[in-house]
Structure 1
Amino acid sequence: MKAPDRKIETTPALRLAHFAVCGVIVLLIGIVFGQTLSYDFVNYDDKTYIYGNPLVSSGLSLHGLLRAFVDTQTNNWHPLTLVSHMIDCQLYDLKPGGHHFTNVFLHTIAAVLLFFWLRNIAGKGQSGSDWTSAFVTALFAIHPLRVESVAWIAERKDVLSAVFFFLTLGAYVRYARAPSFGRYLTMSTLFTCGLMSKPMLVTTPVVLLLLDYWPLNRGPAFAKATTRQAEVRGQKFNAEIWWNLIVEKLPLFGLSLASSIVALALQVQSPASVGQLPFGWRLQNALVTYVTYIWQMFRPANLAVFYPHPDDRLALWQVMLAAALLVAMTWVAVALRRGRPYLLVGWLWYLIMLLPVIGIAEVGLQGHADRYTYLPQIGLYIALTWLAADVARGLPHRKEILAIVQLDDALSYFQSALAVRSRSEHRHYNLSLALIHDSVGNVLARKGRLNDAIAHFRQAIELRPDFPDAHYNLGTALFQKGDLDGAIAQWRTTLSIHPYDSGAHTSLGNALVQKGLLREAVDHYERALQSDPDSILPLNNLAWVMSTGPDDSLRNDEVAVQLATKANQLSKESNPVFIRTLAAAYAQDGQFEKAIETARRASEQANAQGAHDLAVQIREDVDLYQRRTPFRDPSLRNAR
């Protein structure tokens, strides 16, 4: 069903104006978010997704590409996002500035795509002019609610999925105006890439149906309408035509269904599962959250990195008022749908795109999150901006008035967004949140201030005793101070809350090795590999214990060689410690020629990296292997 064409002026002056608008948008984004290039990683998910994830931090490889499509370590399926992080690690290693640059770059591309898409669907002379398209884009680009999606490296999935989302919308407009199999395939492919970046895009087929209604006018209510009066007096609703439009999108709905099934299956494995909160609590919070996001759109103040779920603490009047407001706004949008169809489309865009993350089937401890507004709020921006343009049309000097109002609003949001920076961090501190204490503790720990870090970790645990990250980080700090028993206790607590935490199993195994409890250490290394088969440290450490420990019952020569080989493949043979482990495994397996050659390679690499003491130790290993004697780690002699 072909959509009516919009006649868009493409004079040189107009094209120049469009590129000038894009230049301003790019400049605004650069001023607001360019400062993030000097920021570091944060411990909140950046470790899980990037610098603490060997699959990603080792860079781009064929193994990594294939593994990205089956990796479930983060309880999310977004292989293209993982691949983008791998590319960053390949280009920038673990220098955070490069990773931040990619986020800002992708957000900029998304904003430019949004502007040209709005210009494409608006058309010259329609209610969506250059100014309204530019204003919506500016709101999207620098609204303070964007900070979390752009400045947080782990939220790469937001900006990457946005690029594919706008490309999908653009491809759909081309398809709707001149349907063909090739154009449909292009649009479907882009949509699939979006789902593989972030499954939140599952509602995109419904958004496309909304666009069929307005502004594409593919439905009978607007068919062949050339003026507003014709639109208002359009034909009655024709169920057959709309059914055909739905059938047209069945392949897209199928992709959304498949993505939803995978996402839900993975989230159920998460320690914060759907069943933890009663449905009534989740529904009440969802109603209030819809209104909260609207309030934050107009007044983006007191933003935080984490908003705890209210559980059953919402007052009845809050829930009833939120429900009444949502019903009232829906009624207004429906009532005005003929004269102002953008109100209904924009409002439903907002409601429907938020649905997957509104909290009804949400996994996690948060009540709501700024990042979830990234794409849904565009619907509200469109509805309100188009409405302002319509109202201003009847006013004298309307263009000047509209430009001043839009500039004032844009500057207000610009100032608010600019304020969210490291130097004004204290404004966003909320010491009642365990997450903040945990994050501060990690910063202090990296600076070597272990006592201060431990104090913050303990405060985080006091606020939320079931917070596994705080227990894990406290254990790490205690381990660094030499308190093995304290570290072991914290890591055991971590695993009682999150039994599949590969890092906690590995750390506990390391501590148990130092305590001489090899059998229990081996058990935890094996559990770590069950949770994450590509985790390099447990691969190496288990191979070392199997090859060099005193207990014959713990040895498995063939398995040790396999584990050490895999650890070196994953690390691209860049770590002399791992290469030394492989040499020890070869020697224990009786392959002394390979052991000698491998150990010499490890020694050379250790010297090249400045680890001269390690190189000396490895050369002593070579002397043993030349006498056809396996290496035994003296630190494990008294182990049991």
Structure 2
Amino acid sequence: MKNNNAADMLKSSHYYIICLFLVVATFAVYWQVLDNDFVHYDDGVYVTENIHVNKGVTFDGLTWAFTSSHSSNWHPLAWISHMIDCQLYGLSPRGHHLTSLLFHVANTLLLLLILVRMTGSLWQSSFVAALFALHPLHVESVAWVSERKDVLSTFFMMLTVWAYILYVKKREVKRYLLVVLFLVFGLMSKPMLVTLPFVLLMLDFWPLGRLCLTHDVRNVITGQHTNERTGIFRLVLEKVPFFALAVGSSIVTFIVQERGGAMKLINPYSLQTRIINAFVAYTEYIVNMIWPVELAVLYPHPGNCLPLWKGVVAGLALVLITILVIRKAQKIPYLAVGWFWYVVTLIPVIGIVQVGSQAKADRYTYITLIGLFVIIAWGANDLLSKWLHRKIWLGTLAAIILPVLIVLTWKQVQYWENSITLFKHTLKHTSNNNIIQNNLGVAYNDSGQYKEAIKVCKKSIRINPGYAKAHFNLGVAYGESGMYKEAIEACKKAISLDPDYATAHSNLGVAYGVLGMYKEAIEEFKQAIEADPDDLLAHNNLGYAYLSSRMPKEAIDVYKQARRIDPDSAKACFGLGYAYALSNEKDSAIEQYKILKNLDLELANRLFKVINK
């Protein structure tokens, strides 16, 4: 291969035609996502109900993004990307989905660019990029607004690798710093990229050819040859700052997740159970890659019910594959790099340290499957190397595989149309899924289907009687159905399971208030605020309870706190003005009226009538 072969390919008409195909095919498959809604699974946490995000880009919001441990993660750039979307599109889901789709397309093109530049192999690189763009396992990362961190972190990962290629070509400080910068951006988008320094070390072995273990290899970027067995020490030393960043990100992530309570689920599962599940997950991801059907947004962790034999079989299979890969590493280097890319990049989310309630997740394959795709693309080319009309056979295989993936991905995107279609599909293909039963109940509540909500919330409770959220959402359904006594009992049960459940305290207070039990309501709203001092709804509800109890002075203090939480809250402004009016502080009430006119004209007119009674 000539030294300038890869550069020539990047200028060829074939390259640009392939780029056009990838863009058109990806948009064709995913375009329907623009008509999809937000879903009741973290989208409220990340966008629709997050007052720091849905106001758009603000100084307070940017400060919060870098200092918050909200959602038990530290990924400030992911928060900022959502803020920018809210700034541009408000809470219209179409714009948010478009941004994620554009990142996915950009990632596909960057992957193609990187592979061609590193390997000089246009067609194998194109097939990998096509698999990445069109595989159904990647739908979750693209169609789920909350998973913006996947497509965003991968974007910076691709840029990191591209900057690294530039550094390998010409080892300059400014190019090295560019690698560091993109790596930092990636870690600030999703900490799963802590394995990226290992990936760069693997790429040194193949296809960059910077690492020689037993024989002369060629650096495809510089065109130079090396047979230095000690090269690995220099290459590791070169990446010490990268590893330091990864360690720092891991420490921050551990602290934030522990503070946010995401690691509580470690307790029910023994180390043995987590290891067994990890081995099984590794093998199931491979099966799902080959046969991507019956995919779900949540695969419940089987817990201690997972049979030992499954873990043993899966573990042995992984060990045998790894041994084979190592033995073939020199002769078939892409096999080793592809396999260890898959194994290593999955480590942060494989569940040895269990974060969340899933056994596995489709979104975790967004980066990891690239390694297996490389094995498939280069392996198929090698396996058919002696066949007559090899290119025709390879083209035929691609022509069969890609349309199948397009159809499956198109169908998978449709399941993400809204919460109800998504959760029903998940429940159809999983069992004992109490979390999704509960989430379906939330979706039914949101759409006013309270009878259905009561049914599925009860199913969730039967699966896991200790799941506080299901009791809470059952209470919401009862309350919206006018069954306030039942609502009170359900919310009390939720609070007994989780005493710091702020929203449950708040809804219990609402139920008490409807029944005229304002003393009890006030106490519950106070409990909600104690559990979550930034709970705007609880502050507004407490203010209203004080007003209903003819306690305007107390209401004034609470509504002032609510306005500090969100200065643009029309309800807080109205309540404060109303409380001032009841306290005969007319000038202060008029001041709130003037502010309210710019927030909600209808509420402003109502306040005006109260002031001038």
Task: Please say whether Structure 1 and Structure 2 have the same fold, judged by a TM-score greater than 0.5.
Answer: yes
String of CA shifts for 1:593-621, please: whole Å, max 9, x gaps: 23222135436754x3xx3xx55541243
Residue 334, structure 1, aligned to residue 318, structure 2: no
Residue 55, structure 1, aligned to residue 44, structure 2: no
- Is the 2:593–2:604 contact (alpha carbons within 8 Å) kept by the matching residues of 1? no
- Is the 1:478–1:484 contact (alpha carbons within 8 Å) kept by the matching residues of 2? yes
Which 5+ residue runs of structure 2 have no aligned equivalent? Answer: none
- Is the 2:445–2:476 contact (alpha carbons within 8 Å) kept by the matching residues of 1? no
- State the partner residue of 1:638: none
The 5-angstrom pairing of residues 4-403 of structure 1 reads 6-11=3-8, 14-123=11-120, 129-221=121-213, 225-226=217-218, 235=227, 237-238=229-230, 241-268=231-258, 269-270=260-261, 272-403=264-395
Aligned residue identity for 2:398: Q
Q: 1:305 to 1:12 in 2, by over 3 A?
A: closer
Q: Please identify, of 493-502 and 424-433, the stretch whose mean Cα deviation from structure 2 is larger.
A: 424-433
- Is the 1:564–1:585 contact (alpha carbons within 8 Å) kept by the matching residues of 2? no
Number of matched residues? 600
CA distance in 2, matches of 1:500, 1:19: 56
- State the partner residue of 2:612: 623
Give the TM-score, by structure 2 length: 0.90
- Is the 2:540–2:559 contact (alpha carbons within 8 Å) kept by the matching residues of 1? no
Q: Please identify, of 46-55 and 463-472, the stretch whose mean Cα deviation from structure 2 is larger.
A: 463-472
Secondary structure at the aligned position of 1:57 is classed as coil
CA distance in 1, matches of 2:250, 2:530: 25
Deviation at 1:590, TM superposition (A): 8.0
CA distance in 1, matches of 2:233, 2:62: 40
- State the partner residue of 1:471: 471
Q: 1:516 to 1:227 in 2, by over 3 A?
A: closer
Deviation at 1:222, TM superposition (A): 7.6
Q: 1:534 to 1:338 in 2, by over 3 A?
A: same
Deviation at 1:320, TM superposition (A): 1.7
- State the partner residue of 1:413: 405
Which 5+ residue runs of structure 1 have no aligned equivalent? Answer: 124-128, 625-640
- State the partner residue of 2:561: 563
String of CA shifts for 1:158-195, please: whole Å, max 9, x gaps: 11111111111111111122122211221111111111
Deviation at 1:544, TM superposition (A): 4.6
Q: 1:377 to 1:355 in 2, by over 3 A?
A: same
Q: 1:227 to 1:357 in 2, by over 3 A?
A: closer
- State the partner residue of 2:540: 540
Aligned residue identity for 1:457: C
| Same amino acid, percent of matched pairs | 35
- Is the 1:55–1:534 contact (alpha carbons within 8 Å) kept by the matching residues of 2? no
Deviation at 1:108, TM superposition (A): 0.9
Q: 1:14 to 1:396 in 2, by over 3 A?
A: farther
- Is the 1:491–1:508 contact (alpha carbons within 8 Å) kept by the matching residues of 2? yes
String of CA shifts for 1:367-423, please: whole Å, max 9, x gaps: 111111110111111122112222333332222222222222222222221222249
- Is the 1:267–1:273 contact (alpha carbons within 8 Å) kept by the matching residues of 2? no
- Is the 2:217–2:227 contact (alpha carbons within 8 Å) kept by the matching residues of 1? no
CA distance in 1, matches of 2:317, 2:447: 49
RMSD over aligned CA atoms reads 2.9
- Is the 2:6–2:116 contact (alpha carbons within 8 Å) kept by the matching residues of 1? no
- State the partner residue of 2:485: 485
Secondary structure at the aligned position of 1:112 is classed as helix
- Is the 1:599–1:621 contact (alpha carbons within 8 Å) kept by the matching residues of 2? no
Deviation at 1:355, TM superposition (A): 0.4
Deviation at 1:336, TM superposition (A): 0.8
Deviation at 1:132, TM superposition (A): 0.5
- State the partner residue of 1:581: 575
String of CA shifts for 1:240-297, please: whole Å, max 9, x gaps: x322222222222222112212222232232643223111100111011111111111
Q: 1:135 to 1:527 in 2, by over 3 A?
A: farther
Deviation at 1:120, TM superposition (A): 1.0
- Is the 1:544–1:560 contact (alpha carbons within 8 Å) kept by the matching residues of 2? no
Deviation at 1:578, TM superposition (A): 2.0
Deviation at 1:465, TM superposition (A): 2.0
Deviation at 1:546, TM superposition (A): 5.5
Give the TM-score, by structure 1 length: 0.86
CA distance in 1, matches of 2:582, 2:529: 22
Aligned residue identity for 1:598: Q
- Is the 1:478–1:486 contact (alpha carbons within 8 Å) kept by the matching residues of 2? yes
CA distance in 1, matches of 2:277, 2:206: 31
Aligned residue identity for 1:205: P
String of CA shifts for 1:533-573, please: whole Å, max 9, x gaps: 44322233344555774459x9385x43641431442xx35
Q: 1:567 to 1:60 in 2, by over 3 A?
A: same
Q: Please identify, of 504-513 and 192-201, the stretch whose mean Cα deviation from structure 2 is larger.
A: 504-513
Secondary structure at the aligned position of 1:353 is classed as helix
Q: Please identify, of 155-164 and 450-459, the stretch whose mean Cα deviation from structure 2 is larger.
A: 450-459
Residue 593, structure 1, aligned to residue 587, structure 2: yes
Deviation at 1:453, TM superposition (A): 2.1
